[in-house]
Amino acid sequence: MENEKPILRGELALMVAIVINSFSVVLMLYSGSGISSISSVPYAFSEVFKELSLGTWTYIFQGALVLSLMILRRKFVPSYLFSFVAGFAFSELLDVNELWIGILPQTIPCRIAYFLISYFLLSIGIALENRCQLPIIPTDLFPRELSEIIDKPYARVKIIFDVLCLATTGLLTCLMLGYLDGLGIGTIVAAFTMGKMVSITGSWIDQRVTFASVLSKQTI
């Protein structure tokens, strides 16, 4: 039955995921409901240390996550380095989207719509990344690989990772800025539910298509 499913290029899936995830992170922040948890830590640093942009801090944070994974695995993993390419594209697109997002209206109905759109797009994007058979953005790579390292369900690891990111953001902004910045009700909702939503979305995708890439054994 697996062979009867359409096979899609993992490279295309990864490119789509990078585009929609970078847009969704900025859109969620613009909605006023708070930034997504995966970008909350670099966002906090970009607000505290404004010399560097959100995209640059995102790239630095991604490097720390990749290094942490190698330490946990106790070995050098070459494929993790390729995730920096995806991470760099994601980081640059964050800065690009911040330049034009201000043209969108900010009425209350629009802001609610922005959050819902960004939430579901992020779920789709992360699910696609987890199946593209390629190195992915380090912020999404970390919970996926950690769940394998410690042999725990992805949804649980993803939720814990997101909550820890939020705690770090809250502590940093409160201590350095004197107030809570970047976190909102949308951030909290996403942190506690997105891991499960990614799993649901991924299961829906698995029932319909499979993926192949230059690094996978399966061919198109």
Q: How far apart are CA 210 and CA 10, in angstroms?
A: 9
Which pLDDT band holds residue 192 (cuts at 50, 70, 90)?
confident
pLDDT reading at 24 higher than 50: yes
- pLDDT tens-digit series, residues 134-176: 888 888 889 989 999 999 988 889 889 988 988 898 899 999 8
pLDDT at position 4, please? 76
Which pLDDT band holds residue 187 (cuts at 50, 70, 90)?
confident
What's 178's DSSP letter? S
Paired residues of 212 in beta bridges: 9
Collect all residues with Cβ–Cβ distance below 8 Å to 25 and sequence separation of at least 6: 35, 36, 38, 39, 94, 97, 118, 122
pLDDT reading at 1 higher than 50: no
- pLDDT tens-digit series, residues 95-111: 899 899 999 999 999 99
Which pLDDT band holds residue 177 (cuts at 50, 70, 90)?
confident
Q: How far apart are CA 12 and CA 129, in angstroms?
A: 10
Does residue 10 contact residue 125 with C-beta atoms inside 8 Å? Answer: no
Mean local confidence (pLDDT), 37-66: 87
- pLDDT tens-digit series, residues 70-98: 999 988 888 788 888 888 888 889 889 98
Where residue 136 falls (left for φ over 0; alpha for ψ -120 to 50; beta otherwise) is: beta
Paired residues of 9 in beta bridges: 212
pLDDT reading at 220 higher than 60: no
Give the percent of the chain with pLDDT over 90: 39
Does residue 146 contact residue 69 with C-beta atoms inside 8 Å? Answer: yes
Question: How many CB atoms are located within 10 Å of the residue 40 CB?
Answer: 29
pLDDT at position 33, please? 87
Which pLDDT band holds residue 218 (cuts at 50, 70, 90)?
low
| Average pLDDT across the chain, whole number | 87
54-68, 116-130, 172-186: range with highest mean pLDDT: 116-130
- Helical ranges in 49-184 per DSSP H: 54-73, 78-100, 108-129, 138-149, 154-177
Does residue 185 contact residue 33 with C-beta atoms inside 8 Å? Answer: yes
